[in-house]
Structure 1
Amino acid sequence: MQQTVYLNDVLEEMRTPNKEGRAIKFNMSVRSLNKNSKTGGKMYHYENAKLVMEETPLDPLGIKALQMLPSEKRETFKKSPNHFKNKTRNIRLEDGSIKKIHIKHIIRFNGKTVIY
């Protein structure tokens, strides 16, 4: 019998931080889709991916602490991606790149089949 997990449980597990306040690593398989041509179906497997989220810094010289220092050149913030409305999430891959995935296209999560 194949193990299954609900999508809500997958999303909850993805955004739950570990003891240090960092995002947990997970494995997932996601299917692609081109909304304009209604084609797709290519399967992507992501190993040791992490949800992009605000992490608590471990030391005062961490990334978040350094961002809070006053600087002459400040980055401008982009508009909100509206992940809830668009049903998307950003994940960071092992190589440091960020991918946007559509949550309805998640097929497997940590070896379990995702059901809705």
Structure 2
Amino acid sequence: MVAGWIGFALLTVLLSRSGQVLPVVIAVGTVCGLPAGAIMSLPARVLEPKTRAIGMGIFYTVFYAGSPVGSAIGGKLATSIGSASAALDFGAAVLLVCPAILWLYHRIVAGQHRPAIPSP
């Protein structure tokens, strides 16, 4: 996942600065799909079967509510700066925050699975 996010971010920055748009767009399309399956498996790792349906509902609600918010922020940045590259750079910055969020996720999951009584 981390390699996919970093590659996606680098290609997104390259997209706004390269004259070779088509090859970069093809590379972005190829690389951005790499972490998708692993990302979609994360909620199932922490949700028990009896709460999985509601948990996945919350996950997808946040995901689909966040998509237009991120686009709106990128659009505002592009408008205020006067260049579409600002939106792409914002997207790249958000992608580079994803590894830190994944690290936090793993810390939270590790804390949930600690034994109640420490072993001797």
**What is the TM-score of this pair, normalised by structure 2?**
0.26
Kindly name which structure, 1 or 2, has the bigger radius of gyration based on alpha carbons. Answer: 2
Q: Which has the higher helix share?
A: 2
Q: Which has the higher strand share?
A: 1
**What is the TM-score of this pair, normalised by structure 1?**
0.26
